[in-house]
Chains A and B, each alone.
Chain A
Amino acid sequence: TQLLEQSPQFLSIQEGENLTVYCNSSSVFSSLQWYRQEPGEGPVLLVTVVTGGEVKKLKRLTFQFGDARKDSSLHITAAQPGDTGLYLCARGSTGGFKTIFGAGTRLFVKA
């Protein structure tokens, strides 16, 4: 299967703390995307990673693609209440026509 497993499912932290969320698969994937979804809205693309070992930074967010291209992580430094939301990872299926999403990590940052 090409399932994506995200962990943790839920995370509640204080403002200023650091956190890491994970996205894992049993099979290799060619690329992986991270999205953030706020209540009542559709997901918004944050980043796409395509090369094993790749690291991308988006302000306080750091995305890493595992060397074996079976896993990815998202690290947030000094979390803020505005980071609250559902973080989803997504990968293309074999052939590239379908995009499969993980169930997401719901993050709540308390002021």
Chain B
Amino acid sequence: NAGVTQTPKFQVLKTGQSMTLQCAQDMNHEYMSWYRQDPGMGLRLIHYSVGAGITDQGEVPNGYNVSRSTTEDFPLRLLSAAPSQTSVYFCASRPGQGAGYGYTFGSGTRLTVV
């Protein structure tokens, strides 16, 4: 049981380039989210999805797009990379909305934009 799988683990981009961070889960979880983690700022929510075909914005959505065509996959697209997007990105999933459900996180993608 792989849980939440993120690829790639590391990436260096030049300013203005675009790329897609991949996220897949094999637990049939309805909820999936993307967070970025920066020193001293904890985890900030970028986008989330409550099911296939349904996505919404989090706290810091600018510069990122998401789609959810299947329950399993939730890719994050950087449209035109900027140095401010240098961060560690985490994908997470949970079974549903209930208060007792915690997230299962992937191991992260460390992105550097130069």
Contact = CB atoms under 8 A, between A and B. Distances in A.
B67 to A, nearest CB: 18
A102 B43 CA distance: 7
Contacts of A96: 97-99
Interface of A: 9, 30-31, 33, 35, 40-45, 48, 50, 88, 90, 92, 96-104
Contact of A97 (B43, B48, B100): B48
A110 B38 CA distance: 25
Interface residues of B, number: 27
B90 to A, nearest CB: 5
Given A45-B103, A48-B100, A104 B42 contact: yes
B92 interface: yes
B85 interface: no
Contact of B99 (A9, A50, A98): A50
B16 interface: no
Interface string B91-107: 01000011111111111
Interface of A is mostly: loop
Contacts of B40: 9, 103
30 contacts: A30-B99, A31-B100, A33-B102, A33-B103, A40-B108, A42-B90, A42-B107, A43-B90, A43-B103, A43-B105, A44-B105, A45-B103, A48-B100, A48-B101, A50-B99, A88-B42, A90-B43, A90-B103, A96-B97, A96-B98, A96-B99, A97-B48, A97-B50, A98-B33, A98-B45, A98-B48, A100-B45, A101-B43, A103-B41, A103-B42
Nearest to A32: B99
Contacts of B26: none
